[in-house]
């Protein structure tokens, strides 16, 4: 109880409240601009968090990412351009509603079910994290190795691209993580005599490069999206209680799927939305209505992507293994602020954990009023021409990267990874898998090498311990899954032919 009161005191400090409010507005604006994703909003926020107290820093990341995921629905609904990848799954449906003159229903559903989903995800975080923390206390390097590897495999599974290319991206990330001196022998690896590379490649400049600069490059060579016609909205939340009553099953299913996908290391909000939308259509009584402006799928997918956001913090807080690219950034901030992820976080820093839960709930409640304001001013925000937004973002990338270590080499990295990210994305190599590889590389290598040293070079102990064996089986299943799907697709048409 004392811890809860202490947590409330931490959250209600003026600097934390101001951080939540400002980063919420920031997240709403960035998320609503087409092409600027929630991950990018979070990455650009990191240099700002250096100067905040630990709780305010984490609060600003939580608030900005939650708001950005919701506000990605706005341009999707009004312009048929998803603001963030997590909205892409149901953009068509939302736009169909807008064309039918029911933009309020679509936007309201996005807002209302996002907020409810976020709260459901938070509850799962509150319930699951301490229970898993006890389990995690018994983990040794073998389990950590498989867990990290499983996370990387999940990231390749959900990439919506060729699995081979996704694995190649992931390996590329692991290779980049090898650069520097932080390795079992303490020898400079792949530094080519460049002093700046001795310390390794920091994830933040990479993230800013692949998510922000590559987006500026893409905008440079693609036509400007159409301007938004002015529109007056009716009541945003009017129909939502009715929808909640009608589709509570879909909402709960969306929440659950979102939570499960979020907890899986490596898989995040965009995957949750795709899976939930597909599921909603599969189990619907009226699947024919999907795609014609039917709110059912919106409810399920909107509930799902925000739920995954909170539960994505479970593996991050417990094991330091990011649930998605947003928590990959958050982990860096946690380390920087002395809140090192791990099961002991829940015993030693319990009040900080409670504070984190409170911030999640607060951010999701705040989302409703701020979201309504955002929807009403959206037509003005979306009118901001690219020619004014993109150049400012470019300068912010440079300053933000510089601020991470006050050295200009970070800016060179940002430029390099901007090009790398653009070329990879253009050729079907998912960049998120590479980023997770970079973030988790050191951990994977350390747990792998330490385990091998402990086992005297034998691979058997990797499969002997019970938890480790289960994790190993899951990882191998994730590796073989695409092969299974591929052969299934090959066999099935033949069966059908034979049946005919």
Partner 1 sequence: MHLSDRITGSFVATLGVLAAYGGSRLPPVPGQDIGPSAFPILIGVGLILCGLLIAAGIGHSFEEEAEADLAVVEGPPEYASTKAPLTYRLRALLPPGLLLFYVVAVDRLGFVPTAAIMIFIASVAFGAKLRVALPLAALASVAIHLIFYKLLRVPLPAGLLPMPW
Q: Does 423 bind partner 1 (CB under 8 A)?
A: yes
Q: How far apart are CA 124 and CA 404, in angstroms?
A: 33
Task: Compute the least distance from the CB of residue 372 to partner 1, in Å.
Answer: 26
Pick 177 or 331: Cβ nearer partner 1: 177
Alpha carbon of 197 to those of 18, 45, 135, 172: distances in Å? 37, 24, 37, 17
CB 110 within 8 A of CB 245: no
CA–CA separation, 383 and 100 (whole Å)? 23
- Judged by CB under 8 A, the residue of 4, 21, 165, 461 near partner 1 is 165
Tell me: does residue 336 bind partner 1 (CB under 8 A). no
Candidate segments 122-130, 143-151, 176-184, 298-306, binder of partner 1 by CB under 8 A: 176-184
The number of residues that bind partner 1 (CB under 8 A) is: 80
Contacting range for partner 1; rule: CB under 8 A; set: 6-14, 85-93, 315-323, 367-375: 85-93
Using CB under 8 A, which of 183, 244, 284, 340 touches partner 1? 183
Give yes or no for residue 47 binding partner 1 (CB under 8 A). Answer: yes
Q: How far is the CB of 204 from partner 1 (least distance, A)?
A: 14
Instruction: Rule CB under 8 A: say whether 171 interacts with partner 1.
Output: yes
Among residues 70, 19, 66, 23, which one has the least CA distance to residue 44? 23
CA distance 18 to 448: 43
Of 4-12, 81-89, 137-145, 261-269: span binding partner 1 (CB under 8 A): 81-89
Q: What is the spatial distance between Cα 105 and Cα 111, in angstroms, rounded to a whole number?
A: 10
Which range touches partner 1 (CB under 8 A), out of 132-140, 194-202, 310-318, 400-408? 400-408
Question: Which string of DSSP letters, residue by residue, matches 238-260?
Answer: TTHHHHHHHTHHHHHHHHHHHHH
Tokens of 322: 């990011």
One residue of 175, 233, 463, 481 binding partner 1 per CB under 8 A = 175
Among 20, 174, 272, 358, binds partner 1 (CB under 8 A): 174
Q: How far is the CB of 164 from partner 1 (least distance, A)?
A: 4
Q: Does 195 bind partner 1 (CB under 8 A)?
A: no
Among 288, 489, 494, 495, binds partner 1 (CB under 8 A): 489
Which one among 71, 429, 434, 436 touches partner 1, defined by CB under 8 A? 429
Alpha helices, DSSP H only, in 231-349? 240-246, 248-263, 269-283, 295-311, 313-319, 325-336, 345-348
Q: Which stretch binds partner 1 (CB under 8 A): 262-270, 303-311, 346-354, 427-435?
A: 427-435
- At 316, give phi and psi (nearest 5°): -65, -45
Q: Shortest gap between Cβ of 48 and partner 1 (angstroms)?
A: 6
Q: How far is the CB of 119 from partner 1 (least distance, A)?
A: 28
CB of 34 to partner 1, least distance (A): 10
Q: Does 57 bind partner 1 (CB under 8 A)?
A: no
Under DSSP, is residue 13 helix (H, G, I), strand (E, B) or coil?
coil
In whole angstroms, give the CA distance from residue 268 to residue 86: 9
| Residue 268 Rama label (left phi>0; alpha psi -120 to 50; beta) | beta
User: What distance lies between CA 328 and its chain's CA centroid?
Assistant: 8
| Residue number, 135 or 164, with CB nearest to partner 1 | 164
């Amino acid at each position: 109880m004392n811890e809860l009161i202490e947590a409330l005191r931490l959250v209600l400090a003026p600097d934390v409240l101001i951080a939540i409010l400002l980063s919420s507005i920031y997240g709403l604006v960035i998320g609503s601009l087409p092409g600027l994703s929630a991950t990018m909003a979070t990455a650009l926020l990191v240099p700002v968090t250096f100067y905040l107290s630990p709780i305010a820093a984490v609060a600003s990341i939580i608030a900005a990412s939650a708001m950005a995921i919701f506000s990605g629905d706005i341009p999707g609904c009004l312009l048929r351009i998803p603001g963030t990848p997590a909205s892409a799954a149901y953009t068509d449906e939302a736009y169909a509603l807008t064309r039918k003159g029911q933009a309020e229903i679509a936007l309201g559903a996005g807002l209302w079910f996002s907020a409810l989903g976020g709260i459901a995800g938070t509850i799962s975080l509150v319930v699951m994290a301490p229970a898993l923390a006890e389990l995690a206390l018994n983990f040794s390097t073998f389990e950590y190795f498989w867990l990290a590897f499983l996370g990387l495999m999940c990231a390749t599974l959900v990439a919506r691209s060729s699995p081979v290319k996704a694995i190649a991206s992931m390996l590329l990330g692991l290779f980049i993580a090898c650069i520097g001196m932080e390795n079992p022998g303490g020898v400079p690896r792949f530094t080519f005599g460049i002093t700046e590379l001795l310390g390794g490649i920091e994830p933040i400049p990479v993230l800013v490069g692949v998510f922000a600069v590559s987006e500026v490059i893409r905008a440079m060579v693609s036509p400007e999206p159409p301007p938004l016609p002015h529109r007056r909205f009716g009541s945003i939340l009017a129909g939502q209680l009715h929808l909640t009553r009608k589709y509570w099953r879909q909402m709960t299913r969306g929440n659950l799927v979102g939570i499960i996908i979020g907890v899986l290391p490596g898989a995040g909000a965009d995957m949750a939305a795709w899976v939930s939308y597909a599921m909603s259509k599969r189990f619907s009584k009226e699947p024919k209505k999907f795609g014609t402006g039917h709110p059912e799928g919106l409810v399920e997918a909107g509930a799902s992507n925000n739920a995954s956001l909170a539960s994505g913090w479970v593996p991050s807080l417990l094991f330091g293994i990011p649930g998605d690219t947003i928590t990959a950034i958050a982990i860096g901030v946690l380390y920087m602020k002395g809140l090192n992820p791990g099961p002991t976080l829940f015993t030693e820093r319990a009040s900080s954990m409670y504070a984190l839960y409170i911030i999640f709930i607060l951010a999701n409640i705040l989302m409703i009023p701020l979201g309504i304001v955002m929807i009403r001013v959206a037509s003005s925000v979306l009118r901001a021409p690219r020619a004014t937004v993109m150049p400012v973002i470019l300068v912010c990338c440079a300053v933000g990267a510089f601020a991470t270590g006050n050295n200009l080499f970070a800016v060179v990295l940002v430029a390099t990874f901007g090009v790398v990210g653009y070329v990879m994305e253009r050729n079907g190599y998912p960049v998120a898998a590479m980023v997770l590889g970079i973030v988790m590389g050191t951990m994977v290598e350390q747990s792998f090498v330490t385990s091998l040293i402990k086992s005297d070079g034998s691979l058997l102990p990797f499969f002997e311990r019970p938890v480790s064996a289960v994790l190993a089986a899951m990882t191998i299943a994730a590796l073989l899954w695409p092969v299974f799907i591929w052969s299934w697709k090959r066999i099935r048409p033949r069966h059908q032919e034979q049946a005919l």
